[in-house]
Chain A
Amino acid sequence: MSTVSEPASLSAPRGADAGLTPKQLADKYGLAVSGRRPSLVQYVRQLWARRHFIWAFATARLVAQYTDAKLGQIWQVVTPLLNCAVFYLVFGVILSNKDDFPYYIAWLCIGVFVFQFTQSAVQAGTRAISDNLGLIRALHFPRASLPIAFTVIQLQQLLISMVVLVVVVIANGIEPGRTWLLVAPALVLQSMFNTGVALIMARIGAKTSDISQLIPFAMRAWLYMSGVMYSIQDRIDNWPKWVQVVMTINPASVYMDLVRHAFAPIIYNKHEAHYQKLPAHLWTYGIGWAVVMLVIGFVFFWKAEEEYGRG
């Protein structure tokens, strides 16, 4: 007879399970180590199941973003246009690049808008995890949803700016043509590239909040070296070979040139001194960057899935 005075533990396994160690008990009932990251295939599946969340999150954020500013979403278009104006003054007029390029304003604006797309994806990606810790700790969802949603926000913003860009390009004297259709695939590739970069930056930014201080430096260096407001190809002819290679495969230049060519093939097709011809390998580079960065970024982000929100 068991004695009544001895209280049985509420914790101990009973019946057939009595005597099992916690580890054995966990194995028997298929319990998993808490917070372990899912396999890559499971992760992709979970993420696909959250596609509505990603889209709704992006849309809600986009609308809320400028609620405090009186002019609202107009800033979305005005900011890059002001940038264009400053660049036009400094690089076009003072450094007299505008004389080297036909349609310099269109050429410059396309560059600024396209670079801005990648730049804002990098910046938003860096803060995607660290600015949303509350959400991450409160609800459970694949964390990659956040950097992806922020890239979707940038894409939605880009579509708004594209309307302005079309006006600028036409006002500059370039006629719409069939090549304009190529803008869409170029931007799709750039979006894939941006998503990959945003995922990488999100993981780095989640661990090292200091990185957000260095981003403006890095982005400015990238901006000036990508030939947004002057032709970089004209300047590097005498440089070492490896520098030329790096400059040629620079993804920012690649996507900029693809969009520029699509909007204004006239700039590229004339075989005159300063006119550039779109090299055939640019589309290959564009596709390569898009696929490689997306895969690397996704795997890199997934590797730390269980660690986001800790600390």
Chain B
Amino acid sequence: MADSATKIDMGKKPAVQDSVPAREPTVIVDDVHIVYRVHGAGSGKGSATSAISRIISRKRASGVREVHAVRGISFTAYKGEAVGLIGSNGSGKSTMLAAIAGLLPTERGGIYTNGQPSLLGVNAALMNELTGERNVVLGCLAMGMSPAEVRSRYEEIVDFSGINDKGDFISLPMRTYSSGMGARLRFSIAAAKTHDVLLIDEALATGDQAFQQRSKARINELRKAAGTVFLVSHDNSSIREVCERTIWIEHGELVMDGPTEEVVSAYERGERPQH
């Protein structure tokens, strides 16, 4: 009885109860610390001889600075969840996503994932000198689709990206695309496959209204297919629309982890919860 009452209270969002059956975790982040080692700003590439001298000198001069970007974050995400990550610039959100994707080694702690997470960042360029068409085909093949599968999905991916809405842009090299067009095409390619864990880092911010609506719908489909979606965004309204759970990170530490409405409102008011 109590169970159903809570469900009504919280609308379609899942109820949090001790009595409900166990959920299947997809991402477990266990007390993770991430340290960047930044090598001193090196001079540009010179002649071959200066390269030798730099190789020799680097062993002696170690101008390495350590940046402790993530300090002991722990959380567990489950199947079918869409989790928002919020926090000010440089708080460690993108670092966290890159580490979940396996692109950054952890200094301490462990990250466990179900399958291989895919990270979709705003800067992730594909093959710029190739046409959009080639990028779609190669991207799908790289993700492991068969050539027949690629042929059958091709139209759908191009339509989804909306690249051809204003003329035949898909046959132009990707370097001629605006940043928004590039981001749209990349998202469309990556979203064509069902991912166990999809990590989206601001990738939707550059798309226009119509595209954002389509991508939100696609994220919901991915969740229904038992995937887990992480979304980093500075646009609180899209976090509210897409995610039912939100994690607030500040200075590499977890400030708050809870239902989106609570966390985002606290974030907007600038209130840190009392511990």
CB distance from B135 to the nearest CB of A (A): 9
Q: Are A22 and B74 in contact (CB under 8 A)?
A: yes
**Bound complex: CA of A22 vs CA of B127, how far in Å?**
39
The answer to whether A56 and B16 touch across the interface, beta carbons within 8 angstroms, is no
Known: A26-B25, A64-B130. A50 touches B54 (CB 8 A): no
Interchain CB contact under 8 A, A134 and B257? no
Q: How far is the CA of A250 from the CA of B182 in the complex (A)?
A: 47
Q: Indicate whether A31 reaches chain B with its CB closer than 8 angstroms.
A: yes
Residues of A within 8 A of B257 (CB): 9-11
**A241: Cβ under 8 A from any B Cβ:** no
Are the CB atoms of B186 and A138 closer together than 8 Å? Answer: yes
Q: Which of B74, B102, B127 contacts A35 (CB 8 A)?
A: B102
Q: Is the CB of A134 within 8 A of B126?
A: yes
The stretch of A163-171, A209-217, A278-286 in contact with B is A209-217
A234 to chain B, nearest CB (A): 31
Complex CA gap A123/B17 in Å reads 60
Interface centre among B105, B112, B114, B124 (most CB of A within 10 A): B112
Q: How far is the CB of B9 from chain A (nearest CB, A)?
A: 10
In the assembled complex, A135 has its CB within 8 A of some CB on chain B: yes
Minimal beta-carbon separation of B274 from chain A (angstroms): 13
Complex contact B51–A213 (CB within 8 A): yes
Q: A308 → chain B, closest Cβ, in Å?
A: 9
- A22 adjacent to B30 (CB under 8 Å): yes
In the assembled complex, B219 has its CB within 8 A of some CB on chain A: no
CB contacts under 8 Å to A, within B3-48, are 16-31, 45, 47-48
Q: Which of A1-38 contact B (CB under 8 A)?
A: 2, 7-18, 21-23, 25-26, 29-36
Give bound CA distance, A29 to B23, whole Å: 10
A214 to B123, CA, bound (A): 30
Q: A57 on the interface (CB 8 Å rule)? A: yes
Interface stretch (choices B141-149, B157-165, B230-238): B141-149
Contact A29 B30 (CB under 8 A): no
Return chain A residues, CB-CB under 8 Å to B113.
31-32, 34
Q: Could you tell me which residues of chain A, from 282 to 311, have a CB within 8 Å of some CB in chain B? A: 306, 309-310
**Nearest-neighbor residue (CB-CB) of A64 within chain B:** B129
A253 at the interface (CB under 8 A from B): no
Write the chain A residue with the least CB distance to B140: A53
Residues of B within 8 A of A61 (CB): 130
Complex interface: chain B residues within 8 A of A12 (CB): 76
Chain B residues contacting A71 (CB-CB under 8 Å) are none
Contact A34:B112 (CB < 8 A) given known A14-B22, A52-B146: yes
Q: Please, which residues of chain A bring their CB within 8 A of the CB of B252?
A: none
Near B by CB (< 8 A), chain A positions 52-73 give 52-53, 56-57, 60-61, 64, 67
Residues of chain B lying within 8 A (CB to CB) of residue A135: 125-127, 142
Q: How far is it, in angstroms, between the C-alpha of A228 and the C-alpha of B102 when the chains are bound? A: 45
- Return the contact of B52 from the options A22, A53, A214 (Cβ within 8 A): A214
- Give the residue of A21, A138, A141, A210 whose beta carbon is less than 8 angstroms from that of B190: A138
Q: Can you report 20 residue pairs joining A to B where beta carbons are below 8 Å apart?
A: A2-B18, A10-B16, A10-B257, A14-B18, A17-B22, A22-B30, A23-B110, A25-B28, A32-B112, A53-B138, A67-B129, A134-B123, A134-B125, A135-B125, A135-B142, A139-B143, A139-B190, A140-B116, A141-B142, A214-B52
Across the A-B interface, the 8 shortest Cβ-Cβ residue pairs: A35-B102, A213-B51, A138-B124, A134-B125, A26-B112, A53-B141, A22-B30, A31-B112
Apart from A29-B24, A214-B48, list 16 A-B contacts with CB within 8 A. Answer: A8-B18, A10-B258, A15-B20, A16-B21, A29-B114, A30-B114, A31-B28, A31-B114, A34-B100, A50-B144, A53-B138, A57-B138, A138-B119, A139-B126, A139-B190, A213-B52
Residues of B participating in the A interface, judged by any CB pair closer than 8 Å: 16-31, 45, 47-48, 51-52, 54-55, 74-77, 99-105, 110-114, 116-121, 123-130, 134, 137-139, 141-144, 146-147, 173, 186, 189-190, 245, 257-259, 262
